[in-house]
Amino acid sequence: MTTIHIGNTPVRKCSTLSALFNTNIFIKEEFHNPGMSAKDRPALYMVQDAIANNKIQPGGTFVEASSGNTGLGITLIAKSLGYRSKIFVSKSCSDEKIDALQSAGAEIEICENSNGLHDFNSTQFRAQSYAATNDNAYFTNQYYNTQNIRAHYKSTGPELWEQTQGKITHFIAGIGTGGTISGVGRFLKAQNKHIKIWGVEPRGSVLRHFLKSGSMPDCLQPFEPIEGIGRNFIPGSLDVEVIDDIFQVESDDAKQAARRYAAETGILIGFSSAAIVACLSKYMEAMRIGRHDHVVLFFPDHGSRYISKLYAAEGQAIHYPQHIL
């Protein structure tokens, strides 16, 4: 339906992290997608599903609540097919993501938070309200759209299995909507039930509590600000049945991990990618990862989306992936 090439992103062995943690660490580099993020995958599936099932008519407007990356993917794909896009982002969205959305042609509304449909000031509530009250507007709703999980089950999971020749033993990803870890987890567990599927979220997020207890905590608290991951509600795109554990990290630890990784490798990683590195540093002993294991870290986007939040104060030199130079 579209000529935009999405997926088949590389898996690269990271010698720095492999040496540091005395195991085999591989990185799934999703910033090689057209919108420079993993969110291009569910964006494509959600847009294609909406068009194929007449949920939107030609020339209509795709609407999404996004921390930036899904919105950009939808905007790029929709524009290539002759549709418009309106993206609702929270005020915590990075300046770089806002700039990317505007450059791609999205109409943007900035909201107070992304706390779910129960909050009148959230990106999700306002996106749903807009779609409900405007003609030929369709809310893709990544938090509850089954195509979110399906995209990763049908594309990301099989890629990882093939690229690691079935040797993958651990998959570690940040959790926001839950689509990535759920789709990949379902596929990999079907190939080998012993593969560990581990999630990463900010301290104070509710997903670990839900995994362990099957319920929400009695009291909600603000969670650490790590853009793109962490929730104070349970997304419909989260399948805890395929997740072995969820680990929590501090925002400051993620920031330090990002800067340290940039200093050691010359590569800028995104906020949630840095959270994964921080998670390894904090929980490596508890994880009991063996020397011969094959651990895949899911890096959903590039650090150039977070210069102002992660790197500017440190004066790090900016290194872009070769394919976008």
- Active-site residue numbers? 39
Cα distances (Å, whole numbers) of residue 134 to 1, 57, 76, 87, 129: 25, 13, 21, 14, 9
299 bridge partner residues = 29
Nearest 5°: phi and psi at 118? -80, -10
Sheet strands side by side (includes 61-65): 107-111, 84-90, 61-65, 137-139
Rounded distance between C-alpha atoms, residue 226 and residue 30, angstroms: 18
What 3-state DSSP class applies to 86? strand
Name the residue among 257, 287, 264, 293 with its Cα closest to residue 25. 293
Tally of CA atoms within 13 A in the half-sphere of 102 that contains its CB: 8
**Contact residues for 300 (Cβ-Cβ < 8 A; gap 6+):** 30, 31, 37, 38, 39, 69, 173, 174, 180, 228, 270, 272, 273
Name the residue among 236, 46, 57 with its Cα closest to residue 134. 57
Rounded distance between C-alpha atoms, residue 123 and residue 305, angstroms: 20
Name the residue among 187, 202, 72, 201 with its Cα closest to residue 140. 72
Rounded distance between C-alpha atoms, residue 242 and residue 184, angstroms: 9
Please calculate the CA angle 75-77-82 and round it to the nearest 5 degrees: 90
Q: Is the Cβ–Cβ distance between 130 and 88 less than 8 Å?
A: yes
